[in-house]
Amino acid sequence: MKIAVVGAGSWGTALALVLARKGLRTTLWCRRRELEEEIKETRQNSYYLPQIHIPPQVTPTSDLEEAVRGCQVVVLSVPSQAVRELGRRLKQALPGDILLVNTAKGLEVESLKRLSQVLQEEGWKRIAVLSGPSHAEEVARGLPTTVVTASENLKDAEHVQDIFMEASFRVYTSSDVIGVELGGALKNVIALATGIAEGLGLGDNARAALMTRGIAEMARLGVAMGARATTFAGLSGIGDLIVTCTSRYSRNRRAGILLGQGRSLEEVISSTRMVIEGIRTTVAARSLAHRYGVRMPITEEVYQVLYGGKAPAKSVADLMGRPRTHEMEPGVW
């Protein structure tokens, strides 16, 4: 079997390494020719995954058609706002029965659609998503990781499970595509919130409160959109939330810390060449909350800090001063 990984960022490169460990022929599409040449010459991706050896089973290329030629499965690992464009380009280069595995975690801001919906609009019929607590830096080193793959066709989810599952990378299956996609997207918003609290020096209690109430509002929106609440108690929900809110590798947590320390949004964005998915996802999540009439107070406050010029400390005070309510909501859990 030949598999193409489209996107040579940290996550795409790490997934290519998982496939290489299984002995699968893997091409890795690089957006920049310079990155292709670096990997060929040094067998490293120094910016995204420094000091990680890329074995010869992984063939880098900056030619998209060459990358996917003869592939049975294509793994899409690009920023969420680039999914539509790459999905369209891939559809033109591939036959219709190819399985596409999307690993991006976000929502399309302009349409408010989940990424599998975006890909369906571009003509894809066989789509699976891969999500869960899985920082690329640890996956690349072969540290134990568990993820979940979801598809409307369970056989496709099981196929993805068989392709990726190996000694250090355990894969579960799910049929709840909506829940898995929303969990992977919305947890980035909550990670911004916990980072802001950390930047303000608010301690562990505040972080625990934001994570717990964060998963509640994630599930609240998910159920309104047709997901199963139990999915948010799994790997793509609370699992991914825990690692994104606590890990030193988390770009969203780091961005939140900078915001809490008083940095502007422009300064935070310019502090890294990598995409901070939660910044754009916050806009889409807030719009979806309004569309479905769902209360998402943490998301609202993150939005106000990012785009409304609100002081982070004032957002914390407003969250703490909300009217009293019952913890477990009927119709959600």
Taking a C-beta distance cutoff of 8 angstroms, is the pair 173, 235 a contact?
A: no
CA 312 to CA 322: how far, in whole Å?
Answer: 16
Distance set, CA 30 to CA 8, 14, 152 (Å): 5, 13, 29
Strand ordering across the sheet containing 58-61: 58-61, 25-29, 2-6, 73-76, 99-102, 127-131, 145-150, 169-174
CA 102 to CA 294: how far, in whole Å?
Answer: 27
User: Does 187 participate in catalysis according to the annotation?
Assistant: yes
Looking at the DSSP bridge assignments, the partners of residue 170 are: 146
Distance set, CA 133 to CA 239, 264, 282 (Å): 6, 28, 20
Kind and range of the H or E run holding 29: strand 25-29
Burial of 88 (0-12, 13-18, 19+ CB in 10 A): middle
Q: How many residues does the structure list for the chain?
A: 333
> Helix crossing, 277-292 with 177-199: angle to 10°?
120
User: Chain-centre distance of CA 168, in angstroms?
Assistant: 20
Residue where the block lists tokens 């079997």: 1
Taking a C-beta distance cutoff of 8 angstroms, is the pair 43, 75 a contact?
A: no
CA angle, corner 116, sides to 114 and 122, nearest 5?
110
Of the candidates 155, 187, 310, 314, the residue annotated as catalytic is 187
Which amino acids are annotated catalytic? 187
